[in-house]
Amino acid sequence: MSREFLAVGTDFTTDTFTDDEKERTLAWYREHHDFGDLDLSPFARFSIEHDPAWFKRLRRHIFAFDEPGDEPALPLAAGVAMYVHTYFAVGMGKGSLYEIVTLRNLGATRAEVLETLAWGAYHGGPRGLNAFAEVGDGYLREWEEPGDTPTRVAWPERWAPDVARFRSGIDLSSDELLPGELDLVRDWYRRTYGEVPAHVEFLARTAPSALKTYRARFETTARGALPAQLVPLLAVHLHALTLAPKPLRRALQVARALGATRREAVTALLWAAVYGGDAVLETAFDAAGDVLEPRG
The tally of CA atoms less than 13 A away on the side-chain side of residue 212 is: 21
How many separate domains does the chain show? 3
Q: Please report whether residue 71 resides in a domain.
A: no
**274 and 154 co-located in one domain:** yes
**84 and 204 co-located in one domain:** no
Q: How far is CA 84 from the centre of its chain?
A: 6
Per-residue pLDDT tens digits of the chain, which is 296 residues long: 556 777 778 888 899 999 999 999 999 898 899 987 778 989 989 999 999 999 989 888 888 888 777 888 899 999 999 999 999 999 999 999 999 999 999 999 999 999 999 999 999 999 999 999 999 999 999 998 876 655 689 999 999 999 999 999 999 999 999 999 999 999 999 999 999 999 999 999 999 999 999 999 999 999 999 999 999 999 999 999 999 999 999 999 999 999 999 999 999 999 999 999 999 999 999 999 999 998 75
Q: Please report whether residue 163 resides in a domain.
A: no
Q: Please report whether residue 180 resides in a domain.
A: yes
What's the confidence (pLDDT) of residue 72? 85
**230 and 268 co-located in one domain:** yes
Q: For the range 26-33, what are the long-range contacts, defined as Cβ-Cβ under 8 Å and sequence gap of 24 or more?
A: 31/105, 32/98, 32/101, 32/102, 32/105, 33/98, 33/99, 33/101, 33/102
Alpha helices in 143-257 (DSSP H): 181-192, 198-206, 208-221, 230-241, 245-257
**111 and 6 co-located in one domain:** no
d(CA 159, CA 16): 40
Q: Please report whether residue 282 resides in a domain.
A: yes
**52 and 144 co-located in one domain:** no
**80 and 154 co-located in one domain:** yes
**90 and 113 co-located in one domain:** yes
Domain extent, residue 213, equals: 168-221
Residue where one domain finishes, among candidates 47, 66, 85:
66
**16 and 110 co-located in one domain:** no
- 186 closest CA partner among 195, 177, 178: 195
The answer to whether the beta carbons of residues 97 and 40 sit under 8 Å apart is yes
What's the confidence (pLDDT) of residue 77? 95
**36 and 7 co-located in one domain:** yes
| DSSP state for residue 225 in the 8-state scheme | S
- 268 closest CA partner among 60, 57, 75, 33: 75
**285 and 240 co-located in one domain:** yes
